Amino acid sequence: MASLTALLYLVAAVLFILSLRGLSSPKTALRGNLYGMVGMAIAVATTFFVANKPVVWLIVGAMAAGAIVGAYKARTVAMTAMPELVAAMHSLVGLSAVLIAVAAVFHTGVSHTGAQQIELFIGAFIGAITFTASVIAYGKLSGKFGARAVNFGGQHLLNLVLALAMVGLGFTYYATGSQAAFLMMLAIALVLGVLLIIPIGGADMPVVVSMLNSYSGWAAAGIGFTLDNPVLIIAGACVGASGAILSYIMCKAMNRSIVSVLLGGFGAEVAAGGASDGSKKNYRSGSADDAAFLMENAEKVIIIPGYGLAVSRAQHALQELTDLLTERGVDVRYAIHPVAGRMPGHMNVLLAEAEVPYERVVEMEEINSEFSSADVVLVIGANDVVNPAAKNDPNSSIYGMPILDAYKARTVMVVKRSMSAGYAGLDNDLFYMDKTMMVFGDAKKVVEEMLQAVH
């Protein structure tokens, strides 16, 4: 029986690894999801049958309830609400790690070795931080708590004191097995999770979501050691490592320090410049008909989607417009910034929902060299990721952040509701260039008007 269990866990672990590999590309994402689901089914079934006297009705009931809620949310969640849904799911992973650790510590008649106590401590405090941090991230992303950073005097010192106290209580639990010390450690970790996230502004939420994903994986891996479950260790390590790597890549793309994000903005420098000085600037505006005429007569068009596209649900109409322009001989492609939207891959999922061909969706590193040869760039709902201040204004808070080089195109058209600043609160010099035409209105309505004009 032990050999069969080990074999099944190995199969499940391999499927999880293949799942991550499949999810690395839109073309293989469906297959990657399938691998993951099959692997999880094998892992759950194996664990169920090797468990010592499982409470069947409780386990099956919890699984059924989770399946019902998960299926309902998957079918009803709006694409704009996907980031906060992911944050909420991360919170549940962290909470489950905490509850498993508490159950293990208070399990009567079971003694833990020193190594197991360390594993319980690590898994529990990471899980606790993940839980409360994810709840705050959910609130910021959904607008319930506000997206602004919350700072106060002595914030970093307080975080340091709490972290040292948490580690000290962990050592106390290791040395004495004190359940009270373990619970106090958990309480501090829960508070620390809140304090680490509140000083991070809404513009950095994509990195936070990715990092919380990593935390949830490490929490699961830590608890896997306690439960002596190899597949949980492997799955948690894969999630933790991939989330950490993605967070690092995104920090590079946003010119942020990953250490600052990990420590709640510790050591982050806040630039004073980059915001609008309140002076009147001239800009050129046009209509949807003007935009359609320019795109019809172009040879090469690059479309840059942003969060505004997701809010207005304009992706389907945009894809119809793209197909029509392509039929008329226009080369149309989509340029994706690594942090466009509110979570990693947000724009890719949005375009996939509209059945945009994968070959038309191009990442920033590949397409930036082509903007200078583009006749028209259409920016829809994006702001900070095309802001030239990131390259030419050392006083800007986004200076040094890689951007999509839309300003190099012959003509730039920007679809926005107004001239308001983007998510980072910065004015955008691109909007005031002579080559730029602003088209004001709801993105979906504007794109539909363009579509009618092209017809």
Please give the chain's pLDDT, 455 residues, in tens: 678 888 999 999 999 999 988 887 777 888 999 999 999 999 988 888 887 788 888 888 988 998 999 888 888 887 677 778 888 888 888 898 899 889 888 887 777 778 888 888 888 999 999 999 888 888 887 777 766 667 778 888 898 999 999 999 999 999 888 999 999 999 999 999 998 888 876 666 777 888 888 888 888 888 888 778 888 898 889 888 888 888 887 777 666 677 766 665 544 444 434 444 555 678 888 898 998 899 989 999 999 998 888 788 888 899 999 999 998 899 999 998 877 776 667 788 788 778 888 888 888 888 999 999 999 999 998 888 888 888 888 887 777 778 899 999 999 999 988 877 766 567 888 899 989 999 998 888 999 999 888 87
Burial classification of residue 430, based on how many CB atoms lie within 10 Å of its CB (0-12 exposed, 13-18 middle, 19 or more buried): buried
Domain boundary among the residues 262, 279, 309 is at 262
Residues 209, 295 share a domain: no
Residues 252, 208 share a domain: yes
Residues 105, 227 share a domain: yes
Sign of the torsion angle spanned by Cα atoms 114, 120, 122, 123: positive
Burial annotation 358-386 (CB, 10 A radius, 16+ → b, else e): eeebbebeebbebbeebbbbbbbbbbbbb
Residues 426, 301 share a domain: yes
- The two tokens of residue 145 are 């708590």
- pLDDT for res 385: 85
353 lies in some domain: yes
Instruction: List the Cα angle 101/99/103 in 5-degree steps.
Output: 55
Residues 156, 84 share a domain: yes
Rounded distance between C-alpha atoms, residue 447 and residue 455, angstroms: 12
* Distances from the Cα of 53 to the Cα of 45, 48, 59, 112, 427, angstroms: 14, 10, 12, 20, 62
| Dihedral, 216, 40, 88, 131 alpha carbons, nearest 10 | -30
Are 403 and 385 in contact, with CB atoms under 8 Å apart? yes
66 lies in some domain: no
Residues 152, 94 share a domain: yes
Rounded distance between C-alpha atoms, residue 146 and residue 138, angstroms: 10
Residue 381: give the domain boundaries: 288-454
Burial annotation 218-252 (CB, 10 A radius, 16+ → b, else e): bbbbbbbbbeebbbbbbbbbbbbebbbebbbbbbe
47 lies in some domain: no
32 lies in some domain: no
- pLDDT for res 146: 65
Burial annotation 200-217 (CB, 10 A radius, 16+ → b, else e): bbbbbbbbbbbbbbbbbb
Q: What is the CATH number of the domain that holds 350?
A: 3.40.50.1220
- pLDDT for res 425: 65
Name the residue among 413, 410, 340 with its Cα closest to residue 370: 410
384 is catalytic: yes
409 lies in some domain: yes
The dihedrals phi and psi of 226, each to the nearest 5 degrees, come to: -65, -40
159 lies in some domain: yes
Residues 304, 217 share a domain: no
Residues 325, 399 share a domain: yes
Residues 211, 92 share a domain: yes
- pLDDT for res 269: 44
Residues 299, 238 share a domain: no
Please state the pTM of the whole predicted model: 0.74
Q: Which of 384, 429, 434, 442 is catalytic?
A: 384
Residues 211, 329 share a domain: no
* Domain count of the fold of the chain: 2
How close are the terminal C-alpha atoms of the chain, in Å?
67
Q: Which residue has the tokens 């996230």?
A: 197
- pLDDT for res 265: 54
Residues 438, 300 share a domain: yes
394 lies in some domain: yes
- pLDDT for res 18: 92
17 lies in some domain: no
